[in-house]
Amino acid sequence: MSVMPPYLRVPSFIAQFLGWARAIGRVYNCTPRIPDICYRGHGRKDWKLLPTLCRDRTQLGIALLRQDESDIIMEFRSRFQLHEWKDVEVMAYAQHHGAPTRLLDWTKNALIGLWFAVSDKADDDFEGSVYQLHTCPDCKVFAAMTEPPSTLIAGGDFKSEGGCPVHLFASPPRVERAGRQGSVFSFANFEGDYAISPLEKILESEKSEPLRVFSVPAEFKLELRRLLLDLGLDAYSIYGGPDFLGKAITSRLYLPTCNISVDSGAKENHPAG
């Protein structure tokens, strides 16, 4: 029996993916907390849910990581005249521009999460994944906030209501890329070594299972990139700015053409009789 090529199987994959994303939404999206559900795409399934500040640096110790975070925020504030910004706003700005921070990026848009899982062609030979994070009233270590934690000081911890060590909040509105990406951040306190522990490990004991994952087969990535481009998702729509417009155009020009003939498509969509 012949196996259907990826371009014929991708529509079924998309339907399954959106069904997976929507299923939990029917349960949790009715609550007033913001954000309730968010997504994160990984080009490789074995990547851990660790922020860049702590990734591959856990051996340095918490004290040094605290100092690094403070230094990074101070440098961004100084160089870009962000003196009136709160620490968490500078942290979000730095994160959006590639600096290592304690923040972990998420998006409220499931398709943007999928875009991040397939956007880098260097990962095309690897199975990817899309994580879905949702808040639950009975979760003991994880809480969503309606506002960014404005009292958070770089290098310090945040004491939330209920004492949860892991927090979720929508990106501050003055950060330009927040609107483009439907940006959401999670972060964990340094105290208790939560910041250097993968989020999936922190949440594995939660009976409410706030974290779910959807696998993205390597063989579908090219076709998914093509489909998401047709839907208007590319580096420019995600990041903005002339540099990313250039990257989006380059990606479009060098995207291999799809081997679907007009005749075969017509026969497929309009069967005789």
Region 35-63 average pLDDT? 91
pLDDT at position 60 is 79
Asked, for residue 69, whether it belongs to a domain, the answer is yes
pLDDT tens digits along 234-255: 999 999 999 999 999 999 998 8
Instruction: Supply the pTM of this predicted model.
Output: 0.89
- In order, the DSSP letters of the chain are -PPPPHHHHHHHHHHHHHHHHHHHHHHHTTSSSS-SEEEEEESSTT--S--TTTTT-GGG-HHHHHHHHHHHHHHHHHHTT-TTS-HHHHHHHHHHTT---S-EEEES-HHHHHHHHHS-GGGTTS-EEEEEEE--TT-SSEEE-SS--TT--TTS----TT--SEEEEEPPTTSTHHHHHTEEEEEE-SGGGGGGS-HHHHHTT-TT--EEEEEE-GGGHHHHHHHHHHTT-SHHHHH-SHHHHHHHHHHHHTSPPP---HHHHHHHHS---
Instruction: Please report whether residue 219 resides in a domain.
Output: yes
The whole-number pLDDT of residue 84 equals: 95
User: Is 159 contained in some domain?
Assistant: yes
Domain count, the chain: 1
Answer yes or no: is 237 within a domain: no
Q: Check residue 208 and give its pLDDT.
A: 80
The answer to whether residue 141 sits within a structural domain is yes
Supply the mean pLDDT for the chain: 87
**Residue 158 domain flag:** yes
The predicted structure's pLDDT at residue 32: 53
Structural domain of residue 63, as residue ranges?
6-224
pLDDT at 28: 56
Give tens-digit pLDDT for 100-128: 999 999 999 999 999 999 999 999 999 99
% of the chain with per-residue pLDDT over 90: 67
- 257 within some domain: no
* Inside any domain, residue 167: yes
Distances, alpha carbon 44 to alpha carbons 107, 150, 197, in Å:
18, 33, 19
